[in-house]
Amino acid sequence: MTQPGEFYQRDRSIQPPAFTPGYKTSVARSPRYSMISLQNSVSEITGPRFGHSDIDAGDNDLLTNYAKAGESPIGERIILHGRVLDENARPVPKTLVEIWQANAGGRYRHKKDTYLAPIDPNFGGCGRTLTDENGYFYFRTVKPGAYPWRNMVNNWRPAHIHVSVFGTGFAQRLITQCYFEGDPLIPICPIVQTIPDQGAIEQLTAKLDLNATIPLDSIAYKFDIVLRGRRSTLFENRLEGN
C-alpha cells in the first residue's frame, strides 16, 4: 500500500536561476548564498484550497468580465485552454488558475503602466478559474499585444499571458508566462532567455489548436501547465507522522 509523500526535488536545470544579468532587474533582486535544501514537512506538502464560493462563474471570460453591456474589447478573440498536470502526468483537479495580461495594444490596466498604447475601456485584463475534475481549464480573452520595456533600450516582450497556479501543496506554487507559437520575439526576449532549457521554453509556448477553435468566433490556443509531482511512498518508518 502506498501513500503520497514529499514532492520530487525541483529540477533546477530547467528553471531560471535567480541571477540573470541579461534581465537587469534580477541583478539586485537575486539571493547570492545557496538556498538551504529542505525535505518537505507538513508545511510544504499542504497548501491553500479554493472552492466555487471564492470566485464567480464569469471570472474566466475576459471578453465580458470588464466590458460594458453589449460591448467587447478590441482585439483577436482567443480561447486559452489546457490542463494542469503534475510530473506524474496526473491531472490536478479543483486548483485555482489566475491570469493577467496586456490588452491587444500591449497596454496594461495598471496605474504604473505609462505605455503610449491606449487603455481599452472594455478590457480589465485578469481572469481566474478552478480546474475541473480532469484538471481542465479555459479562458476567453483577446490576444495580448507585444510591448516595449526598459531593460536594454530596444527590448520588446513577446505577446504573453501571466499565469499563476497553486496545486495541492505550497511547494508547488508557480507563476509563469504563456507565449504564443510563432512569435519572433520569443527567442530574443531577455526574460524568456532566463530559462536555461529550450524544451522548457517550448513548454511555455501555447500551440494553435484548430480543433478547439470555434468557427467564425475565436481561435484556440492550448496551454498545459505542469506542477511538481509527489512520490508514492511505501509505509516507511522514516515518514512517521507525515
Partner 1 sequence: MPQELAYLKESASQTAGPYVHIGLAPGAAGFEIYRQELGRDMTGPNAKGERIRVEGRIIDGMGAPIKDVLLEVWQANADGHYAHPEGGGEVEEGFRGWGRVISDFDTGEWGFDTVKPGATRGRNVGTQAPHLNLWIVARGINIGLNTRMYFSDEAEANAADPVLNLIEWENRRGTLIAERTERDGMPVYRFDVRLQGEDETVFFDV
Q: Does 240 bind partner 1 (CB under 8 A)?
A: yes
Cell numbers describing residue 178:
504563456
| Residues 101-140 close enough to bind partner 1 by CB under 8 A | 108-113, 124-126, 128
Select which of 23, 81, 83, 108 is catalytic: 108
Residue 42 DSSP SS3: helix
Say how far apart CA 98 and CA 80 lie, in whole Å.
Answer: 12
Residue 8 buriedness (CB in 10 A; 0-12 / 13-18 / 19+): middle
The stretch among 71-79, 132-140, 164-172, 212-220 that binds partner 1 (CB under 8 A) is 164-172
- Nearest approach in angstroms of CB 185 to partner 1 is 14
- Binding-site member from 21, 39, 134, 214 for partner 1 (CB under 8 A): 39
Total residues in contact with partner 1, by rule CB under 8 A: 91
Residues with Cβ within 8 Å of residue 53, at least 6 apart in sequence: none
Per the CB < 8 A criterion, the answer to whether 112 and 178 are in contact is: no
- Nearest approach in angstroms of CB 78 to partner 1 is 17
Q: Respond yes or no: is residue 115 known to be catalytic.
A: no
How far apart, in Å, are the Cα atoms of 52 and each of 59, 65, 99, 165?
A: 11, 17, 17, 16
| Residues 89-108 close enough to bind partner 1 by CB under 8 A | 89, 96, 98-100, 108
The stretch among 18-26, 70-78, 135-143, 206-214 that binds partner 1 (CB under 8 A) is 18-26
Residues with catalytic roles = 108, 147, 157, 160, 162
